Amino acid sequence: MRGRQLRRAAICLLAVVAVVPVTACAGGPEAVEGPAAAQDDGQRTDPDVERRAAEKAALDAYSGYLAASRAASGRSDPHAPELSRFLADPLLTRVRLSIRDAKEHGAVRTGTLKSDPTVAAASLDANPATVEIQDCLDMTDYRLVYAKNKRVVPGSGGGRHLSTATATRYPDGRWLINAGALHRDQPC
């Protein structure tokens, strides 16, 4: 009986550790607080107006993320300051690691990335508020190439694939993209 209780306690402890966010020691523009709880200052706005504003801010953050990521990938600069203007962890770290990995292998991204995102869902009453975004990214002309000879890196092909992202409202009011995935198994 005691062994079963210890296993349950260990499982519960692991679940709590997995849910509690880890905060890195950082300062400056890369430091981002966790997502904001809904703030109630006693004033209410029209829910439709609030929803439209949130959706626009989330789509602006998503477009900024794509532009910042393209620019940083084209320069092989994983610490480009524009990344932290539009991204938050864990996606910020994933993007930086991807750019660093390409740089270590002598590769950069070139070409044009086409995007036409839409809002899939908005959860403004959630704590924190989030907006889910779907996109059909056209990477036909967006390639990973070796910097020295501009040859395409094998296996880095383009195409059109479903992409999803989550924008979250942070305490300072900014909407940042903190989760995202390219679904290579789902062409669009």
User: Residue 39's CB: how many other CB atoms inside 10 A?
Assistant: 9
Residues 68 and 72: their CA atoms lie apart, in Å, by 6
- Return the SS3 of 182: strand
Instruction: State residue 157's pLDDT score.
Output: 74
Does 62 score more than 90 pLDDT? yes
Instruction: State residue 46's pLDDT score.
Output: 86
pLDDT band at 156 (very low <50, low <70, confident <90, very high): confident
Phi then psi for 42, rounded to 5 degrees? 90, -15
Mean pLDDT, all residues of the chain: 81
Return the amino acid letter for 109: R
- The token duo for 22 is 């880890």
Does 151 score more than 70 pLDDT? yes
- For range 128-146, the mean pLDDT: 95
Share of the chain above pLDDT 70, in %: 76
pLDDT in tens, 17-46: 222 222 222 333 333 445 644 444 455 678
Q: Is residue 88 a contact partner of residue 169, using CB atoms and an 8 Å limit? A: no
Q: Is residue 170 a contact partner of residue 128, using CB atoms and an 8 Å limit? A: yes
Instruction: State residue 155's pLDDT score.
Output: 83
Instruction: Pick the most confident of 5-19, 69-83, 149-163.
Output: 69-83
